[in-house]
Amino acid sequence: MTKTILVTGGAGFLGSHLCDRLLGQGYAVIAMDNLITGSTDNIAHLIGRDDFRFIHHDVTEYIFLAEPLYGVVHFASPASPQDYLDYPIHTLKVGSLGTHNSLGLAKARGARFLLASTSEVYGDPLVHPQPESYWGNVNPVGPRGVYDEAKRFAEAMTMAYHRVHGVDTKIARIFNTFGPRMRLDDGRAIPNFMTQALSGQPITVFGDGSQTRSFCYVADLIDGIQRLLESDRHQPVNLGNPEEWTVTRMAETIRELIGDAPPIEYRDLPVDDPKVRQPDIRTAREHLRWAPGTAIDEGLRHTLDDFRRRFQAAPHTRTRA
């Protein structure tokens, strides 16, 4: 009998790639999304398959599915800073009510549950690189607090359902991930730089560009997610690429890949923007036998090919300053 997995946020960037992966591994998939930041374009190639179904639904409302479920993977949430600044209350609701509803469904169906958490639970970290044991440095009342605290609450609720109700839960702390299907106007560094360069706009770097990030290609991240889903690990696991890049280095690399790109412009750093971000992935290596295998330059080329194709179809797309 085919095992069915519900993916909330299944029409988003990461969610749609996870749907592809699970279908390729023989699972049946139900993708659920309210399409605030997701798009049916990401799953259009799956529509019509007998083992795939899309449900337009907001997971902050009660979720009812009658069929047996093997797993519930909770990916629903605005994820880029621009999105959760545009939708602060909904971001808090999907992290709280959405997580509660998704966990309730997993409990009712005896399904395993995986929460897509984030490196943002570490805030502007005072420990570098960040291990799962680090509790973070988060400003709960700053503009980024709506996302940081929503995910921290979601982790707490996930562990409560595991301890109190015995739900088989997993928590993935996802670090910066990039790849095809990111929105052209996503607002995060890589899509911002690519869309600006392709449209002839100056490439905007916030701060002096010395702040660091760790960029993981989407195929590697999704492999880690599936390994975690099928593992017996209940405590949080960092998933990301430990190779550390400055933001300026990434901007310059993308300029070189595109060729004849506009110059870099520096702007003021947003409030509470983390200065460093790098995952300690020893837990993933030990428990999941996982580490990213795609070189950043290779991932950027795949991503740029996808961006060029979509940009040519929508040349007037602009990034959000």
What residues contact residue 62 under an 8 Å CB cut-off, 6+ apart? Answer: 101
Selected catalytic residue, list 27, 84, 147, 217: 147
Question: Which amino acid, residue 86?
Answer: D
Question: Which amino acid, residue 170?
Answer: K
Token look-up 């999907």 returns 94
H/E/C letters for each residue in the chain? CCCEEEEECCCCHHHHHHHHHHHHCCCEEEEEECCCCCCHHHHHHHCCCCCEEEEECCCCCCCCCCCCCCEEEECCCCCCHHHHHHCHHHHHHHHHHHHHHHHHHHHHHCCEEEEEEEHHHHECCCCCCECCCCCCECCCCCCCHHHHHHHHHHHHHHHHHHHHHCCCEEEEEECCEECCCCCCCCCCHHHHHHHHHHCCCCEEEECCCCCEEECEEHHHHHHHHHHHHCCCCCCCEEECCCCEEEHHHHHHHHHHHHCCCCCEEEECCCCCCCCCCCECCHHHHHHHCCCCCCCHHHHHHHHHHHHHHHHHHCCCCCCCC
CA distance 100 to 267: 39
CB 103 within 8 A of CB 63: no
Cis, bond preceding 129 (omega within 30 deg of 0): yes
Nearest-CA neighbor of 298 among 259, 245, 251, 257?
257
Annotated active-site residue 84? The verdict is no
The residues that are catalytic are 147
